[in-house]
Amino acid sequence: MSINVLDPRVAQQVAAGEVVDRPASVVKELVENALDAGASRVEVELGDGGTSRILIRDDGSGMPPEDARLSVLRHATSKIQKVEDIETVTTLGFRGEALPSIASVSSFCLTTSTGEGAATKVTVDGGANAEVSPASHPKGTTVLVDRLFYNVPARRAFLKRLV
């Protein structure tokens, strides 16, 4: 099933207001996406406990170019199309909030390939408009999250207090 932006009424009803509040929540969301994509191998690399760098690489199904472009838009999901679909969801995620939420508070780069044709690279810096370009990548997806919360000083200060 292709990724589609949810009707605003459906999005409003299913949105849980999930917030990316620490590096662990970013890793959780990205690993769940990899598993939902059928990955049999998921690599996780962290720099400074995830605040300077999080890299998640998988060998899942990857995304075609249009789906990759849509994946960083709020409520863009391949898992549901109407509220009733929530009752039959068998995936770990379904709301289409994780990638745009992460991209809004970091320097974000997603590179993905279905294994057919060129791969697609999507970069977003602090929630700015996505830049999409062709790339080279094996089948699967790599997400690089740099400088988590660089543009949210209050969240960075909160993380420093936890350490």
Per-domain residue ranges for the chain? Answer: 4-8+19-162
Mean pLDDT in the chain? 83
**Given a cut of 60, is residue 153 above it in pLDDT?**
yes
Taking residues 23-39, report their average pLDDT: 93
**Given a cut of 70, is residue 8 above it in pLDDT?**
no
Tens of pLDDT, residue by residue over 61-105, are 999 999 999 989 876 666 656 666 566 665 566 555 789 889 988
Taking residues 132-146, report their average pLDDT: 98
Tens of pLDDT, residue by residue over 39-54, are 999 999 999 999 899 9
**Given a cut of 60, is residue 9 above it in pLDDT?**
no
The whole-number pLDDT of residue 158 equals 73
Dihedral sign for Cα atoms in the order 88, 91, 92, 93: negative
The whole-number pLDDT of residue 34 equals 95
The whole-number pLDDT of residue 151 equals 87
Dihedral sign for Cα atoms in the order 6, 131, 142, 147: negative
Rounded Cα gap, residues 53 and 109, in angstroms: 11
**Given a cut of 80, is residue 16 above it in pLDDT?**
no
The whole-number pLDDT of residue 156 equals 76
The full DSSP string for the chain is ---EEPPHHHHHHH-------SHHHHHHHHHHHHHHTT-S-EEEEEEGGGTSEEEEEE-S----HHHHHHTTSTTEESS-SSGGGGGG--SS--SS-HHHHHHHTSEEEEEEE-SSS-EEEEEEETTPPPEEEEE---SEEEEEEESTTTT-HHHHHHHHHH-
pLDDT band at 10 (very low <50, low <70, confident <90, very high): low
Top-level class of domain 4-8+19-162: alpha beta
**Given a cut of 50, is residue 15 above it in pLDDT?**
no
